[in-house]
Structures are given as C-alpha cells and as structure tokens.
Amino acid sequence: KIDWGGDSALMAGGFLGVDLFFVLSGFLITGILIDEFRTTGRISIAQFYWRRARRILPPLLLVMLASLPAAWALLLPSELERFTLSLVAALAFVSNIFWFFELSEYGAQSGLLQPFLHTWSLAIEEQFYLVFPPLLIVMLRYLALVRVMWVVAGLTLIGLVVAAITTVLHPAFSFYAPSSRAWEMLAGALLAVISRQYSTRAQGGFYRFVPALSLGCRFGPFSVRNWLRCGIRASLRRLSSWPLAA
C-alpha cells in the first residue's frame, strides 16, 4: 500500500512487498524447472522439494530455536500456547490457515508481537508449489512451450478473477487464501515461460520489454480488480433490490 496523501492511496489495501515476492518466486522457480527440463529432458520432483527443504528449513529452524528462550521468558502462558501452535503451523506450512483463524485480519493489534506471523506467505508459497510443479511437468511433457504459455496465461486470468471476487466477498479470507494469491505466482511463471519461449528467437529484443511486462503483470491487474470489484458490488446491489421491487 502506498499512501497518496489524505485518505487516498495508490493500490490501496495491498502490501506491495509480499505481492512482488510472489511474482518473483513464480518467475524464478518456473524458470529453474523449465531449464532443468530442457537440459535433462525431465524434472525430478523429489529433487525439487529436497532443494527447497535445504534452502528453507535450516534458517527457519534457527530462527525458531533462537526465539524459544525469549518466548519462555517474556510471554504469558496463553501467549506461549499460541506461540507454540504458530511454530507447528510454520513447520507444517499451514501458517496462513492458522493466522486466519487466530487473527482474521492481518495487522490486527493482537498480531503485532507474533514473531512467526510472517510465515503465512511462506505457507502460501509452499502450498502453491505442491500443485504447480507437477502440473508444469505434465504440460512440458505433452505440450509445446508456446501452448504451455497460453495455458499459464489462462490460469493467471482465472486466478485474478477468483482473487477479485474473493476480495469483495471476504477480504480477510482473501488475504490468506492461496486461491487469491495463486495468480501472482502464475504471473511470474508466465513471464518465465515467455522469456524461455522467445529467448532463442529475439533474445535482445524481448528482454528489453521484460521490465515493462513485469510492471504490467504486477500493477495492471489492480485496475482490472477494481473494475471487477465495482461490477460485483453493483450486481449485488441490484440483486438485493429485486425482492423490494417485487
């Protein structure tokens, strides 16, 4: 969210850092998987998850161990219980679900001193990568890369519509829901597919447009989402007025 002065804001209601994190994650992971497929003719899903575990778990466990003495010394018994549950949720990569039921709204006063609240985004990322890499493997095996590009583009658009509708109907749930965040990682994945599809034909020309495409994938959907939000609200108002008209 970028304040614009007064009550107005640019991209109000969003948290730009974590949004960019999801887009970059989708771009990097998809690029790595496509490069592996091109080099070896296959993608080892076991090696993929092993690499992620080696990269994520050591620092996560280190932070957990460092937090335990401070939590034991500073937290009240009720807070210590929630702290313990948050550790379990972080290790199981379900922090987004846990914190939705604990806090409902991100940034709530009761969540300001929760050291593992930030792991909700890591949980969403891992949940996405339980589904997308196997799907990508199937697509790369049976489809040309240009067809993969169009499939990912379609999934991105569907994910954006789902996010817009969910945000209108239940904003707090939408914030933590992987279904509302999937389009951001898919947007990054789409850029990775496009870059690999056209890199051998016009590498220099294409990469000049990558920054603009990245900004378009990140910022453009806000206008679409606001348009959809207004349309959905107007439709709901019309539907609610029908019984009165009758």
How do residues 187-217 score in pLDDT, each as one tens digit? Answer: 999 999 999 988 755 455 555 555 556 555 5
Q: Which residues of 115-142 are buried (b: 16+ CB within 10 A; e: fewer)?
A: bbbebbbbbbbbbbbeebbeebbebbee
Mean pLDDT in order along the chain per 10 residues (246 residues): 49 67 94 94 92 94 92 85 92 92 65 78 94 95 94 96 92 90 95 86 54 56 53 55 50
Cβ partners under 8 Å of residue 42, min gap 6:
36
Residues 183 and 160: beta-carbon distance below 8 Å: yes
- Has this prediction a pTM greater than 0.85? no
Residues 176 and 106: beta-carbon distance below 8 Å: yes
Q: How far apart are CA 162 and CA 96, in angstroms?
A: 18
pLDDT at 5: 46
Q: How far apart are CA 16 and CA 39, in angstroms?
A: 34
Retrieve residue 203's tokens: 């590498």
Q: How far apart are CA 48 and CA 91, in angstroms?
A: 18
CA distances from 139 to 37, 145, 152, 176 (A): 11, 8, 10, 28
Residues 96 and 124: beta-carbon distance below 8 Å: yes
